[in-house]
Amino acid sequence: MSHKKFSVINTPVHNIDGIAKVTGRATYAFDVTLPGMLYGKILRSPHPHARIISIDTSKAEQFPGVRGVVTGKDTLGIKQGIWRRYEELCDEQILPLEKVRYIGEPVAAVAAVTEEIAEQALDLIDVEYEVLPAVYEPLEAIKKEAPTIHEGVERNINVTRHIEWGDVDEAFEEADYIREDWFKCSGQHHMCMETRCAVSNFTPEGKLTVYTGTQSAYYHQGLLAGVLGLREGDVRVIAPYTGGGFGGKFELDAAQFCSAVLSMKLHKPVKIVFTREEDFIASKRRTPMFYYVRTGVKKDGTFCARESRMFSNGGAYTGMGATALYLTGFFHSFPYKWKGYRYDGYRVYTNTMPSTSMRGFGAPQGMFCSETQIDWICADLGLDPFEVRRKNGHTPGYEVPGQAFIGSCGLEECIDEIEKWAKAKGELPPNRGIGISACGFMTGGIFNWFDTPYSFSSAVVTINVDGTVELYVGCQDIGQGSNTTMAIIAAETLGVKMEDIKVHSGDTDHCPADLGAWGSRQTLMTGNAVKMACEDAKKQLLEFAYAEMGINIVYDLDIKDRWVHIVARPERGMKYEELVQKALRGKDGQRIMGRGYYTPHRKGMISPAYSYMMQAVDAEIDPETGKIKIHEVMTAHDCGQPINPLGLVGQLEGAASMALGYAYLEDMPFEDGKLMNPNLVDYKVIRSTEMPPSPSIEVDTYEEEGPYGAKEAGEGLTNPTAAALDNAVFHAMGLQIKELPITPERIRKAIAEKKAQEAQK
């Protein structure tokens, strides 16, 4: 654990785009207005499963103000998907030619001079459907007699995943106690403040520019090129600002695709904005999962073996589902050492909206099932939940057999901190309990499923004559503050101030390719690229400092706070701005540029580094109504070296809010394939005034793989909350709730069942 003294890192700073956002000056794709721009609207399927017999657009085309209508026939009909490496996982035509597979699936799009006209024209499109039988739940869809959603896909099984290490059966034999449970985890809507929106502008030179909110401008560049028959380099994606992503904005969406197809047909800019309802019914969602978990432990609480089977509701298409399917299984083992571990996951197509990645990426579901069962086992065996977690938890240098190499790991410190906090609370009143949950998470993925020869992250830095710095990164700021993080790393590395750094991101023509904001990868991966680029540029400057300062012994030189100096004698030096000018003159005025990149070198199959944390929820239940009141959500957290403590707090609070919503409020009920609450009245998210206090403390670790020791923060913390709350419910009232969200109805039902059981005894 080597800590340098930092000038910029670890100082709390506001996000560099904070003022723009709070003053309303930040412009999103929605704010883009181009000369001659048309407005598009999308006609969507009213059926969960139907064959398209014919689409007659002639009346709509003749409607005054309409400029054009497109259907699947106006496209290349390419089945696309983000898992480009595997053709069979590319299964979605955004404007399908033959079948619709969920209610809300696009079938046609209209462009008109106003949004209202486009909307009206939708009613004039005549689609003839042959309605097909539909299926909505995975355990139904895998049945032999279930309708086939994708031709040739037997039993609607989209992807399977098997993870195994150790001799699982032997390890079960060593166990003194075995427990098995069935769990059901719900879906969750990403609920970005910004709904899907794109402005596409196809120019006469055959180049397409798309302004859109995205988690990865580079993915959208590649995906659009693929489905439109253009070269990547002929597609430019610009993300002015992005109003949230949470895993839902790195696949191609219908706003992007339909606006592009319309713009290419009509040679005009076309804007499509999803309504809130469209965003609810026809974007994707967190994957609902059915989990069977069987766990064997020794009397003393030592974990022996676990086997799980998971069936997920994949919805109509693959999306990022294949990754979620793997990650849920991997993180279901986390953060513990298992002698034997076996996971079989089945992603099943259904006639509902596709499920995909969402903050936590499968881990929240896997950990909910794991962490609740652990507490129940502890209760069954009379063991201390802290002690059992400490005993079995990951430690620095541990290797998850064949899966992952653990570098830094502050899990034990996190458990200690939460235990201290919980003990300090003392005895709690009746119907109130503290539940805990440990977890860990990845810091970016190392598998190249997008199949790109580019480095995973890349950065270019240019030093201007006045010392200001242009930093070009392909990472995406979706509100999580990555541009601020990159500016901090750049300022620290170059030895300048925050206001010297200008971060350029979200434009594929100007920013180097980067896989973008998902899997908590940017701080580590792009951060490393930024550090390397800045070191490269700094080296070019320091050559001239050596020459200028006339040092007769080779000293180390460095720059801090714009002061170029001999490290051993910091008072001897020169101004940074002066050095930049000298270096420019010395190099004949040529641009001073530095380059950096990062591609993980394979160490395990998942991620270069893992964060750890423990969370506790202090909750109280009203036994009459089943309503939960949450008093506090406390987190102890290991993200390596924090880069921006203020941004970190924001990320952790945001994660707690989203994870609490998942735990006891947010749900997506369907009836006959129709989402019943596609609006913010009926879909409940926690508002800021409803948030309980959610403090956190950081434990001190240093991650060798990360820039200045940093690793994941802000996504992993969506993992523990549902389990911690469920455990609080368990400790408060002895209820074992195995289904999310933990609604008052479910609590009342559990209370009734418990009473009935007790009455039977």
Q: Which residues bind a second copy (CB under 8 A)?
A: 16-17, 19-20, 23-25, 27, 31, 33-36, 203-207, 225, 231-234, 267, 452-456, 458, 460, 462, 464-470, 499-500, 502, 504, 509-510, 512-513, 581, 584-585, 588-591, 593, 595, 597, 599
CA distance 250 to 357: 9
Q: How far is the CB of 66 from a second copy (least distance, A)?
A: 21
Query: Phi, psi at residue 410, to the nearest 5°?
Result: -105, 25
CA distance 634 to 567: 41
Q: Which residue has the tokens 């979620």?
A: 324
Give CA torsion, residues 200, 202, 203, 209, to 10 deg: 50
Q: How far is the CB of 204 from a second copy (least distance, A)?
A: 4
- Nearest residue (CB) to a second copy, 225 versus 379: 225
- Nearest residue (CB) to a second copy, 122 versus 266: 266
- Nearest residue (CB) to a second copy, 512 versus 573: 512
- Nearest residue (CB) to a second copy, 181 versus 577: 577
Side chain identity at 61, as an amino acid letter?
Answer: E
| Class of residue 18 by CB neighbours under 10 A (exposed 0-12, middle 13-18, buried 19+) | middle
User: In the 8-state DSSP scheme, what is residue 234?
Assistant: G
Question: Helix 744-760 and helix 721-733: axis angle, to 10°?
Answer: 40
Q: Compute the Cα dihedral for 731, 736, 742, 747 and give only its sign.
A: negative
- Nearest residue (CB) to a second copy, 31 versus 700: 31
- Nearest residue (CB) to a second copy, 84 versus 286: 84
Q: How far is the CB of 527 from a second copy (least distance, A)?
A: 16
Q: How far is the CB of 64 from a second copy (least distance, A)?
A: 23
Radius of gyration of the chain, Cα coordinates, nearest whole angstrom: 27
Which residues are within 8 A (CB) of 721 and not within 5 positions of it... i.e. 6 or more apart? 364, 437, 615, 617, 633, 655, 656, 659, 660, 662, 663
Q: Which residue has the tokens 């989209």?
A: 158
Q: How far is the CB of 721 from a second copy (least distance, A)?
A: 34
Residue 641's nearest CA partner among 16, 14, 6, 15 is: 6
Structure-token pair, residue 653: 């609070």
- Nearest residue (CB) to a second copy, 425 versus 595: 595
- Nearest residue (CB) to a second copy, 211 versus 361: 211
Q: How far is the CB of 24 from a second copy (least distance, A)?
A: 8
Side chain identity at 136, as an amino acid letter?
Answer: Y
Would you tell me how many other CB atoms lie within 10 Å of the CB of residue 167? 14
- Nearest residue (CB) to a second copy, 350 versus 458: 458
Q: How far is the CB of 540 from a second copy (least distance, A)?
A: 12
- Nearest residue (CB) to a second copy, 168 versus 592: 592
Q: Per DSSP, what are the bridge partners of residue 596?
A: 459
CA distance 680 to 553: 68
- Nearest residue (CB) to a second copy, 372 versus 482: 482
Q: How far is the CB of 541 from a second copy (least distance, A)?
A: 13
Q: Per DSSP, what are the bridge partners of residue 466?
A: none
First-to-last alpha carbon distance for the chain, in angstroms, is 57
Q: How far is the CB of 744 from a second copy (least distance, A)?
A: 43
Q: Which residue has the tokens 């020169």?
A: 574
Question: Helix 522-549 and helix 482-494: axis angle, to 10°?
Answer: 20
Residue 106's nearest CA partner among 144, 151, 76, 70 is: 70
CA distance 706 to 704: 6
Q: Which residue has the tokens 């009920």?
A: 669
- Nearest residue (CB) to a second copy, 159 versus 210: 210
Q: Which residue has the tokens 């455990």?
A: 727
